[in-house]
């Protein structure tokens, strides 16, 4: 007799059987515990129901429904009852139901034509002041971006300008044309979103630098010419070489600023969130670190960079912690002077191009402040430059940019560009106290500065040494333009062009030439000349 062997269980099946046993044991334990806490109620004894032998006259006789072509909606007697009386429990007549349905249908119908808000308030104590509350919203502008929608009519503005000098300036700025040698889509300077840009100060040719959010630096010489790659008489079929663009990974994190030495045309300084400042020697093709915290683990994210025009060995920098530093590149990093100026991040700052002891800072703490580096006062952690004056904004201030004539332009999240004027700044005594009136903006321009998460913050940048002596600055426009403004707040131009499919948020003027560059979130360049 053959003995049947029990089939062997696989490891998976054994594990499954064990899980079933464990789960059953857990359920039994839960049931026994529940029985102890809440004993089962004894089942009620069944009692024979007493028959009600009342007269059948107490029954309510149903009415016979009258045939009607109108479709009647069902409704419960309880829902339609008011006081529970027998009369109210009766069904409504077909005519009443039809009227009720018509009324409900009218409430759901769309109303065409104008509606006065006074006639359509929402009932309830919460909304008693609905119309009055709208008075708080008057003057609001569209906050969202509207790609391609112009916010400046150049033709009308130029015609309405009576001042000849200003009119000529508007004509010249509006006449700038988008670079045509390559389309914008082909001029990709860096792999990621452009965060900082700079024009080399040479007037021989436009050389643009760009830094992205991951520390890559791109360099583009716009004087180069496309090379035809096919010998074909038909221009439409011919193809051309791509632009020559150099890109380097000079930092490990976001590049936040470019600085060009006034004494060395081959020296380019960059700052970064990786806590370092580096110097690129264009002739030697070498990037050298000139500042970083001595402790490799110390985080000192640098948000902006500048250099006094009178001393090319000094760099001034701001940080994400609200600090301002001054460092002599000939000394070691530990010798740098660092002062706490704001409680929150300094988003941007600048030195006066002529009187470089004056510093304007813009902070997340909603203030713009002016400091004097000639007078350092206090002891220990309280040691800092003398504060000359400050101005509060409703929301955070993104950048403060000095012009060589003494203007400060700021951008802030309250959707304004504010312009301050200090023409006598060169005559200020060290540590002078500026009055509230002096710190009040002389011009204020409405401007959509709501960049969101994927667009670099909009910052005004002055033309530092304009040949025509007329001071102007550039700033990105959320509708995919670059705006040009004069020092009196008048808009001079709104630069556009074919192929611009993203916001050229990072806008820069060449220091002396009428060249404007804009960088977008795709790492691409728009150039107007």
- Could you count the other beta carbons within 10 Å of the beta carbon of residue 283? 9
Quick one: average pLDDT of 220-242? 79
Which one has a higher pLDDT value, 318 or 90? 318
- Which of 420, 333, 318, 325 is closest to 368 using CA atoms? 420
CA angle 522, 527, 529 (to 5 degrees): 175
> In the sheet where 337-340 sits, what is the strand order?
302-306, 314-319, 323-328, 337-340
Burial pattern 298-328, b for ≥16 Cβ within 10 A else e, equals eebbbbbbbbbbeeeebbbbbbbbbbbbbbe
Kindly report which listed range (2-16, 31-45, 176-190) carries the lowest average pLDDT score. Answer: 31-45
pLDDT in tens, 36-82: 555 555 555 555 544 444 444 444 444 444 444 445 455 555 444 44
> In the sheet where 286-291 sits, what is the strand order?
255-260, 267-272, 277-281, 286-291
Question: By the 8 A CB rule, do 287 and 278 touch?
Answer: yes
pLDDT at 238: 73
Q: What is the CA radius of gyration of the chain?
A: 37
Which residues touch 352 (CB under 8 Å, ≥6 apart)? 358, 359, 360, 402, 404, 406, 425
Which one has a higher pLDDT value, 417 or 139? 417
pTM: 0.71
Quick one: average pLDDT of 295-321? 94
- Which of 301, 410, 300 is closest to 348 using CA atoms? 410
pLDDT in tens, 447-461: 999 998 999 999 999
pLDDT in tens, 323-341: 999 999 999 888 999 999 9
- Which of 351, 301, 283 is closest to 195 using CA atoms? 301
Q: How many residues does the chain have?
A: 529
DSSP string covering 477-488: ETTTEEEEEETT
pLDDT at 49: 47
> In the sheet where 207-212 sits, what is the strand order?
194-199, 207-212, 216-221, 245-249
Quick one: average pLDDT of 471-492? 96
Model confidence at 93, pLDDT cuts 50, 70, 90, reads: confident
Which residues touch 147 (CB under 8 Å, ≥6 apart)? 479, 480
Residue 432, pLDDT > 60, answer yes
Model confidence at 12, pLDDT cuts 50, 70, 90, reads: confident
Q: Where are the alpha helices (DSSP H) in 38-160?
A: 77-80, 86-89, 94-108, 130-133, 154-160
pLDDT at 296: 86
């Amino acid at each position: 007799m053959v003995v049947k062997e029990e089939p062997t269980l696989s490891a998976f099946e054994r594990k499954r059987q064990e899980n079933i046993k464990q789960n059953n044991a857990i359920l039994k334990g839960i049931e026994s515990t529940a029985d102890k806490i809440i004993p089962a109620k004894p089942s009620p004894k069944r009692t024979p129901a007493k028959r009600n032998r009342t007269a059948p006259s107490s029954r309510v006789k149903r009415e016979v429904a009258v045939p009607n072509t109108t479709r009647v909606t069902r409704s419960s007697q309880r829902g339609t009852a008011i006081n529970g009386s027998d009369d109210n429990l009766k069904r409504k007549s077909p005519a009443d139901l039809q009227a009720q349905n018509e009324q409900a249908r009218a409430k759901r119908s769309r109303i065409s034509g104008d509606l006065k808000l006074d006639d359509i308030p929402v009932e309830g104590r919460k909304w008693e002041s609905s119309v009055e509350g709208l008075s708080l919203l008057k003057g609001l502008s569209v906050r969202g971006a509207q790609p391609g929608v112009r916010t400046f009519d150049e033709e009308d503005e130029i015609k309405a300008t009576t001042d000849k000098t200003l009119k000529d300036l508007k004509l010249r700025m509006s006449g700038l044309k988008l670079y045509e040698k390559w389309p914008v889509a082909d001029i990709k300077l860096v792999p990621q979103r452009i965060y900082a840009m700079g024009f080399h100060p040479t007037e021989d040719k436009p050389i643009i630098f760009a830094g992205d959010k991951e520390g890559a630096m791109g360099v583009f010489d716009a004087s180069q010419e496309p090379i035809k790659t096919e010998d074909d008489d038909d221009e439409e079929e011919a193809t051309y070489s791509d632009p020559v663009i150099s890109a380097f990974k000079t930092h490990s994190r976001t590049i936040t600023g470019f600085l060009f030495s006034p004494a060395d045309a081959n020296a380019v300084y960059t700052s970064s969130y990786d806590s370092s400042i580096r110097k690129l020697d264009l002739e030697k093709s070498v990037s050298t670190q000139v500042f970083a915290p001595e402790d490799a683990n110390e985080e000192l994210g640098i948000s902006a960079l500048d250099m006094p025009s009178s001393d090319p060995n000094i760099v001034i920098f701001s940080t994400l912690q609200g600090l301002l530093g001054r460092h002599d590149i000939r000394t070691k990093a530990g010798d740098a002077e660092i002062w706490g100026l704001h409680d929150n991040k300094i988003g941007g700052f600048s030195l006066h191009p002529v009187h470089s002891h004056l510093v304007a800072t813009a902070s997340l703490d909603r203030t713009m402040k002016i400091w004097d580096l000639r007078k350092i006062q206090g002891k220990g952690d309280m040691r800092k430059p003398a504060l000359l004056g400050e101005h509060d904004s409703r929301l955070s201030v993104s950048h403060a940019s000095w012009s060589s004539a003494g203007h400060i332009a700021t951008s802030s999240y309250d959707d304004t560009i504010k312009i301050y004027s200090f023409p006598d700044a060169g005559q200020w005594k060290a540590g002078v106290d500026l009055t509230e009136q002096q710190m009040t903006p002389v011009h204020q321009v409405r401007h959509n500065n709501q960049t969101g998460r994927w667009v670099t913050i909009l910052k005004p940048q002055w033309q530092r040494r304009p040949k025509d002596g007329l001071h102007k600055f550039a700033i990105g426009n959320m509708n995919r333009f670059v705006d040009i403004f004069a020092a009196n707040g008048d808009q001079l131009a709104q630069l556009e062009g074919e192929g611009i499919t993203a916001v050229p948020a990072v806008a820069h003027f060449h220091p002396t030439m009428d060249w404007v560059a804009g960088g977008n979130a795709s790492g691409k360049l728009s150039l107007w000349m």
